[in-house]
Structure 1
Amino acid sequence: MPDAAKPPLNATTREFGARIRARREELGLSQEAAALRCGIHWTQLGKVERGQRSLRLENIVKIAFGLDVTPGGLLNGVPLPGDENQPG
């Protein structure tokens, strides 16, 4: 099954990924260029943007640094894991 067909893990990863994608697009970067700036593989970035991957703190910080945003800016207000009804 291709990754694009897999659903997000949960509301938290879906919202976090949407924020990553929005910031990347705001900077006018391709996934490949953004991944290079973040120091991760572009396939990993794609899974994060689709909400299919949960990240360690170290990788959240790397992505935030690469996209010129604070980790808090990416995380503030994301829905709590397991709270699928909370707006995101």
Structure 2
Amino acid sequence: MAADKTDGKEHVHNRIAVLRAERGVSRRELATALGVHYQTIGYLERGEYSPSLHLALRIAGFFEVPVEVVFSLAPFPRLGSTS
């Protein structure tokens, strides 16, 4: 899998916003459950911040999915994509 790089930095793609929406969880609720500031969730969702391994595992645990469902080095396929 090729890493997506912008300005020489690897970009970590995520599905946090999608998972939150599916479960009806606000940024504040997720942040409180994880013990982080709610703005951190926004930074993560926009790809402005890559989580530590510890935080990534806690996020996956919160949603009860494997970490690969939440995070990827390659862009996720668009919803409804047949390819």
Query: Under TM normalisation by the shorter chain, which class is it?
Result: 0.5 to 0.7
- Bigger share in strand: 2
1:12-47: CA deviations, max 9, x gaps?
33x31xx01100111101100111122222111110
Q: Which residue of 2 aligns with 1:12?
A: 11
The amino acid of 1:52's aligned partner reads E
TM-score (normalised: structure 2): 0.68
1:73 corresponds, among 69, 72, 79, to 69
Aligned twin of 1:22: 18
Structure possessing the higher radius of gyration over alpha carbons: 2
Return the structure number with greater helix share. Answer: 1
Aligned counterpart in structure 1 of residue 45 of structure 2, from 27, 43, 49: 49
Aligned length: 70
TM-score by length of 1: 0.64
State the SS of the aligned residue for 2:39: helix
Q: Output the amino acid matched with 2:63.
A: L
1:40 maps to which residue?
36
- The AA in structure 1 aligned to 2:11 is T
Q: CA 1:87/1:43 → structure 2, altered by over 3 Å: closer, same or farther?
A: closer
Report if aligned partners of 1:38, 1:67 keep a CA contact under 8 Å in 2.
Answer: no
Give the % identical residues: 26
What is the SS of the residue equivalent to 2:11? helix
